[in-house]
Amino acid sequence: MVYEVQKKPKGNYSIINHKHPERLFVLLTPRFTRVSTAIRKASSANREPSAIAFRQKLGKLEMEYLYERKQCTLTVKLRNDDDFAFLNVRIDICGAIWNAGCTIMREYYKNTGKTMAKGMLYSQLGEMRKHTTSWQLVYSQTVQQIADRILAGYELFFTNIRKKKEGAKLRCSPPKCHKIRKQKSMTFKQYGKGFWFSGRGEVTIQGRKFRYYDSYDGLLEHVNVHTMTVKRNSLGEIFLYITCAADTKGEIWGDRAAVGMDFGLKRFLTLSDGTVIDSPLWYKEYLNEIRKLNRKLSRRQGGKPGEKWSNGYKKALKNLARLHLKIANQRKDWFYKLARELCRRYHTICIEDLNIKAMQMHRNWGRKVGDLAFAEFVMILESIAEKFRTTVVKIGTFFPSSKTCSCCGHVHEHLDLEDRVYVCEKCGFTIDRDLNAAINILREGLRILEEDTAGKPA
Ligand SMILES: [Zn+2]
């Protein structure tokens, strides 16, 4: 399908489909939300496929946008001056329901060796809800969602057991009871049942109005909302996570290359083209501050088991939580920026499927690996890659990426972990160790990719 983009005054664009000029005519504004709404209206009115791609010259680079209707999650924050106690009470009850559900499942599993069927868990919790007045503050669909999560937890547990039998190093346990204050969220499964957006940055949750910071500029009132999760964080702030079908914008850039990446402890990333990316070690930077706050916390009353939390203790706890959240947010921000930059430059990214858990078990590496948070980065990279139409290829843990010579292919079996430079026994090729690994990862990744595409009919 051919679409043409025409530039209009005031920074607006319009998209025209030349085959059916009368059927699709969309005015785009630079604001993403408006674009999204405009596309939605056009595609639903004309029954066109919801994906629209067009090219636009931007300086030297040719950029291709892709608009596509798909499920996505939008997040907004509730204003602090609203009645959070109303929500907190209900989230606490969700915690109690979770615990009850876990206990039921565990008993059943102990007695029969099987997991309970979905309908049975639903009806057992439903029955309990009938007889517990406080539980009735929570919607029955919310209770069902908690049951769904417990069942999903059991499914993961069984998959992990299977993987463990195959030799993977994993820690696995079924969903467990937790402290009520550890319960973070409450989910509504259906729009209109328990929540709806009433416009002007207002949302009604269980009959009570709340206001939120409308970072999407009115989009929430237009998109097709599926579910909503009310979630509190360690600072007592409350966020809404709304899943909906919306038109999202992806970016595709011309002239991109393929790359292999090696994660390291000394350097965060080494790319096969020689680029080295160091990671700021946030945790280390704030270590003194964390220690200071921890000392403060331990001087307050309430830390010992059985002791009641004093106000000073609560305050110190909040300060510590705020700092941890700050570190986590900074790291996440950096990860997103890096992932975006990489996807702009490369159409294929090959990485090693690292067994982070196994690495973390290694005593001396523990904190540093946690600080670098490879696993979190890979997750972010994959989500960004999808937007940019970048392929991420994961290579098995058993591929000897650092032992193989990238020049002649000889495998050096007894490589010393400490050696920063790779010297080939056979051909004498000398290269930086991480760079050598990155080149091997790229080669292996491209091979896997070719194998995959060759197997599939075109
Ligand atoms: Zn060699």
Query: Which domains are present in the chain?
Result: 3-72 (no CATH), 78-248 (no CATH), 257-284+332-458 (3.30.420)
More confident residue, 153 or 1: 153
Point out the least confidently predicted range of 44-53, 166-175, 394-403, 429-438: 44-53
CA of residue 262 to ligand 1 center, whole Å: 19
More confident residue, 320 or 51: 320
| DSSP structural state of residue 235 | T
Share of the chain above pLDDT 70, in %: 75
The predicted structure's pLDDT at residue 228: 94
Please report the sign of the dihedral spanned by the C-alpha atoms of residue 282, residue 286, residue 287, residue 290.
negative
The predicted structure's pLDDT at residue 56: 37
Confidence category of residue 253, pLDDT binned at 50, 70, 90: low
- pLDDT averaged over the chain? 78
CA 223 – CA 37 distance, rounded (Å): 8
CA of residue 417 to ligand 1 center, whole Å: 18
Which residues, chain by chain, have CB under 5 Å from ion ligand 1? 405, 407-408, 410, 424, 426-427, 429
Q: Mean pLDDT highest for which of 44-58, 162-176, 226-240, 265-279?
A: 226-240
CA 150 – CA 301 distance, rounded (Å): 36
Q: Mean pLDDT highest for which of 126-130, 173-177, 284-288?
A: 126-130
The predicted structure's pLDDT at residue 168: 67
CA 283 – CA 47 distance, rounded (Å): 51
More confident residue, 90 or 367: 90
Average pLDDT over residues 216-222: 70
- Residue 230's nearest CA partner among 249, 263, 262, 208 is 208
Q: Is the pLDDT of residue 331 over 90?
A: no
The predicted structure's pLDDT at residue 147: 94
CA of residue 373 to ligand 1 center, whole Å: 33
CA 60 – CA 78 distance, rounded (Å): 42
The one catalytic residue in 62, 92, 278, 352 is: 352
Q: Would you call 262 a catalytic residue per the annotation?
A: yes
Contact 435, 270 (CB under 8 A): yes
> SS3 letters for 34-95?
HHHHHHHHHHHHHCCCCCEEEEEEECCEEEEEEEEEEEEEEEEEECCCCCHHHHHHHHHHHH
Average pLDDT over residues 336-350: 90
The predicted structure's pLDDT at residue 5: 53
Q: Is the pLDDT of residue 307 over 90?
A: no
Contact 263, 351 (CB under 8 A): yes
Point out the least confidently predicted range of 7-21, 136-150, 212-226, 436-450: 7-21
- Residue 278's nearest CA partner among 290, 297, 296, 265 is 265
Torsion of CA 31, 36, 38, 40, to 10 degrees: 180
CA 347 – CA 425 distance, rounded (Å): 34
Convert the pLDDT of each residue in 77-121 to its tens digit: 999 877 899 999 999 999 999 999 999 999 998 898 888 899 999
CA of residue 412 to ligand 1 center, whole Å: 9
The one catalytic residue in 62, 127, 262, 353 is: 262
CA of residue 6 to ligand 1 center, whole Å: 55
Average pLDDT over residues 325-339: 89
Q: Hey, which residues does 209 pair with through a beta bridge?
A: 204
**3 state DSSP class of 338:** helix
| DSSP structural state of residue 218 | T
Contacts (Cβ under 8 Å, ≥6 apart) of 112: none
- Residue 369's nearest CA partner among 285, 432, 281 is 281
The one catalytic residue in 92, 376, 382, 434 is: 434
Point out the least confidently predicted range of 56-60, 73-77, 449-453: 56-60
CA of residue 320 to ligand 1 center, whole Å: 51
CA 344 – CA 64 distance, rounded (Å): 11
Token pair belonging to 88: 């907190």
In terms of Cβ atoms closer than 10 Å to its own Cβ (0-12, 13-18, 19+), residue 281 is: middle
User: What is the pTM assigned to this prediction?
Assistant: 0.67
Confidence category of residue 27, pLDDT binned at 50, 70, 90: very low
CA 153 – CA 159 distance, rounded (Å): 10
